[in-house]
């Protein structure tokens, strides 16, 4: 019995070993690697937001075209109907638009949470590339670049 209990206890500890390995791996990441990962994540979020906005615009254009086509058909067939909400493809498109809005909102929130870290990273990169110590001009320029990026995404 004792050896069986020992086996069970040793197996129960295995997930803890794995999680401690992950913690050690994260600790091993250099600040440069963390900065690169953060910048990469920000780039991905910006691209996804831009893509989602473009998809939303395309869907909205499609909805408008579908509604106009249905109105034209109804006019030709002399059908009186004022409710365009019952068009199934329009309903599906509106649901897709809502999903995209939520996705954009989530990505925008994540970028806003990363703002200060992105500014710090940008300042560091500017300092390294120019070989000059960090100064107020660099800080202001980095803040402006990051704020413009976020403004572009949120508009």
**d(C-alpha 118, C-alpha 6), whole Å:** 49
Structure token pair of residue 15: 């997930």
Q: Which one-letter DSSP state was computed for residue 86?
A: G
Query: Who's near 13: CB < 8 A, 6+ residues apart?
Result: none
**pTM of the complete model beyond 0.75:** no
Indicate if the pLDDT at residue 138 is higher than 80: yes
* Mean of pLDDT values over 40-63: 89
Output the CA–CA distances (angstroms, integers) from residue 127 to 68, 130, 136, 152, in the order listed: 56, 5, 11, 25
Indicate if the pLDDT at residue 16 is higher than 70: no
| pLDDT at 108 (0 to 100) | 87
| pLDDT at 8 (0 to 100) | 39
**d(C-alpha 102, C-alpha 115), whole Å:** 20
110-139 in b/e form (b: 16+ CB < 10 A) is ebeebeeebbbbbbbbbeeeeeeeeeeebe
User: Which carries the bigger pLDDT value, residue 13 or residue 128?
Assistant: 128
| pLDDT at 7 (0 to 100) | 40
Indicate if the pLDDT at residue 14 is higher than 50: no
SS3 133: coil
| pLDDT at 3 (0 to 100) | 43
């Amino acid at each position: 019995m004792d050896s069986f209990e020992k086996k069970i206890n040793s197996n129960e500890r295995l997930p803890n070993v794995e999680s401690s390995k992950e913690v050690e791996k994260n600790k091993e990441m250099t600040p440069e690697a963390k900065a690169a990962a953060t910048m990469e994540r920000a780039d991905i979020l910006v691209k996804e937001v831009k893509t989602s906005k473009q998809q939303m615009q395309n869907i909205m254009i499609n909805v408008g075209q579908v509604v106009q086509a249905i109105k034209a058909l109804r006019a030709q067939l002399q059908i009186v109907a004022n409710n365009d909400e019952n068009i199934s493809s329009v309903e599906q498109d509106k649901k897709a638009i809502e999903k995209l809005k939520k996705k954009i909102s989530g990505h925008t929130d994540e970028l806003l949470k990363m703002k200060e870290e992105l500014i710090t990273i940008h300042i560091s990169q500017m300092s390294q590339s120019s070989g000059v110590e960090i100064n107020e001009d660099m800080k202001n320029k980095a803040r402006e670049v990051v704020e413009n990026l976020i403004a572009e995404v949120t508009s």
